[in-house]
Amino acid sequence: MRIGELVTALLYMRIYERRDLAEAHGAGRQDLVDFQVSGLAREYRDDLLETAAVLDALALCHGHGSYLPRPYQEDSDPVPRDVELRTDASDVASLLVDYDLQHGTGTTGGVPAALEDGCTEAERDAIRAYARGEWIASQERWPD
């Protein structure tokens, strides 16, 4: 399948899901709204987990090292690709952590705190390790 067709199919799927949700809300079908919102929330977490795992795997291929400071201020110096990958991986993993803390959806326990401005590299490493553990646990639950 060509990637353009896949992207189009995914966009249409999201449009129809949101339309159905709006129609259920308009019709006063709170049971259906709750069901659909719950499903969308699970998909959102799955998307965060998968993205965090992919970015982490890419970052691990470039070895270990430093991160960009938080908050990051753009300047004229080019950012090394490995540093950018590690930073992106930890930022997405932090979104996953924040979601798990809010909704109690973590499965491996020991959810670290989400990243804040001025966070340390050790905190960024811990966030990525948590996302990695969640990914591994999800794969063990759903073997192909």
The rounded distance, in Å, linking the Cα atoms of 48 and 86 is 16
Residue 128 lies in a domain: yes
Would you state the structure tokens that stand for residue 64, as one six-digit string? Answer: 């270990």
pLDDT of residue 8: 67
Would you state the structure tokens that stand for residue 21, as one six-digit string? Answer: 């949700």
Residue 1 lies in a domain: no
Neighbouring C-beta atoms of residue 125, cutoff 10 Å? 16
Render pLDDT for 19-78 as a digit per residue (tens, 0 to 9): 887 888 888 888 888 887 777 778 888 888 998 999 999 999 988 889 999 888 777 788
The rounded distance, in Å, linking the Cα atoms of 42 and 34 is 12
Helices H / strands E in the chain, number of each: 4, 0
pLDDT of residue 20: 80
How many domains does the chain fold into? 1
pLDDT of residue 143: 55
Q: Please report the DSSP string for 73-108 in residue order.
A: ---SSPPPHHHHHHHHHHHHHHHHHHHHHHHT--SS
pLDDT of residue 113: 95
Render pLDDT for 77-136 as a digit per residue (tens, 0 to 9): 888 989 999 999 999 999 999 999 998 999 998 999 999 999 999 999 999 999 999 999
Q: Which domain holds residue 81?
A: 40-141
| H or E element at residue 17 | helix 3-26
pLDDT of residue 137: 92
